[in-house]
Chain A
């Protein structure tokens, strides 16, 4: 789960990371009031869960409350990469910027450890820096039992060429960002840029944070911060029903048990000339109600021209899936053609239940995919 900039920065601040004064507005009038309280010179920033807000015109400087109000009017309601801006962050402008630094804490999967990553080439896309000038990125792994040690941040500060009088503050910021990472079960805490202001102080101008979905059971406060706007309504309904569902651009809906098999099913559809409309893993041991919900979600997408069911029964039972399909078809009238492949536990019972449903059947995955692609093309 991703957090908005304002949410991330507030969490950073709880761990001693310096952030600009500011607040969130949902209306131009609010934006004006916040700008007035901050003294007028502010930055108005769209709060949407995607990168490239600046390039899209979602981040603008104002020199007085009137301007802030006008900019907020412009930015609120703006569409950035398919997401509607519903909130703007009004931050006090930094008193000049001498240097921009990149700083993050993330997980290095290979070493199985958290890692601090930093670069003096801040303020730009770090992926690009990593690709073009990897020598400008510095890393330190963190031992979970030790946390961030001063010698590690001294080493990083030295590599960055930070003025020595800032090394103490830099340690506080790095260790604060790491403590924030651990305390909130984050998978990423990122400041880009961390700036040296005209007054020679370090300040976190932007913030980004992703939280481990698997840990939300012990992070109740964060779970409440979820922005439902980042999901399509179908994806939200799927999540609440324990389904793994991601909407895509194609026209062949897929229902599969297991994430790896679901990906492989999408891939083979594409291989045979079709385009998957979604990723959907109904999980292990899905009940008929979940299957029915899943099928309704697939069919709610008007682009869908065919549906492919690929169920390899283990814990999941073929008859249970078949009952769910029948149940859904009683609720939703549709003439979308369907191809079904059931293998494994209770597959025969399942096929018997579907015998009257007028569905095409397939034995192998290749066969099923070819039939679904043909059906979507109206053949």
Chain B
């Protein structure tokens, strides 16, 4: 078991003929992902050649056509920010249950409309501005390097994070210590996203393969505080957390559009305190997470 993606994932890549889309399509294939098609408007009928003697992948003009021909049940989006909202609408309109948007830099007002639209659809959106997710040995949807994850062991750690490379840092350390992961999910660092900590925590709680959970948050908003309240009430599994940005100055955006301390809200102190109160062990630095889990 795992959450969200596994061997049954049949993936479409929106933007497969682009530089990023093409590069990561090859990486996802190498990680064992079943990619059934690509979508690039205006290039329908072409074929994407992954090289390495792998089977060519059909390219379609629209997601609807691609779903009709391939039976895809998920898509990953690699299109530029100004077209990304359209790509999400299209994937949801085609009825895909899972859409993962890697694209960074989507305007917030676009995401407000996307969220309002998705509220009445069965589609789950992960991201945007996220590294995607990976179930080691089964499916990688996004850009998390497959080389750093591990499916060792029967009872594994589920990882949920707002960050990209910070997640890699933690996952790599877990793998080095022989601790396998059920699924690693990057929910993204934007102020408005499709899936939040609580959604993923709930799934990990219900997943029999996940034994413990690592939560990696950062300054800005109050998603970590909300997660803490949820953990206190609903989680039986052990959760270990880390919050980045304890030294961030107020009023400055720390790279991610959502990572900002505004006045007294969004501070690391508030998040750490809320998590500790909920019984979560909070690491002072990333290396400590692994010690806490192993210990």
Q: Which residues of A contact B (CB under 8 A)?
A: 107, 109-110, 112-114, 127, 130-131, 143-145, 182, 185, 187, 212-215, 217-218, 244, 246, 248, 256-264, 266-271, 276, 279, 281, 284, 312, 314-315, 343-345, 364-366, 369
Contacts and interface: CB of A to CB of B under 8 A. Distances in A.
30 contacts: A107-B112, A109-B221, A144-B109, A182-B109, A185-B108, A213-B257, A217-B81, A218-B82, A218-B107, A244-B255, A246-B252, A248-B249, A258-B163, A258-B165, A258-B166, A259-B163, A260-B162, A262-B255, A263-B255, A264-B166, A264-B285, A267-B245, A268-B285, A270-B246, A270-B247, A279-B252, A279-B254, A281-B255, A344-B148, A345-B145
Interface of B: 81-82, 105-109, 111-113, 115-116, 143-145, 147-148, 161-169, 172, 189, 191-192, 216, 218-219, 221-223, 226, 242, 244-249, 252-259, 263-264, 268, 284-287
A217 B82 contact: yes
Contacts of B223: 109
Contacts of B163: 258-261
Contacts of A113: 112, 116
Contacts of B106: 214
Contact of A260 (B172, B256, B285): B256
A110 B226 contact: yes
Contacts of A187: 108
Contacts of B111: 112
A147 B143 CA distance: 37
Contacts of A281: 255
A256 B166 CA distance: 10
Given A144-B116, A343-B172, A259 B255 contact: yes
Contacts of B256: 259-260
Nearest to B258: A109
Nearest to A281: B255
Contacts of A260: 161-167, 189, 216, 218, 244, 255-256, 259
A144 B113 contact: yes
Nearest to B144: A314
Which one of A114, A218, A264 has the highest number of Cβ atoms from chain B below 10 Å of its Cβ? Answer: A264
Nearest to B165: A258
B248 A266 contact: yes
Contacts of B221: 109-110
B7 to A, nearest CB: 24
A264 B217 CA distance: 11
A312 B168 contact: yes
Contacts of B145: 314, 344-345
Contacts of A127: 263-264
A363 to B, nearest CB: 10
Nearest to B252: A246
Contacts of B285: 264, 267-268, 271, 365-366, 369
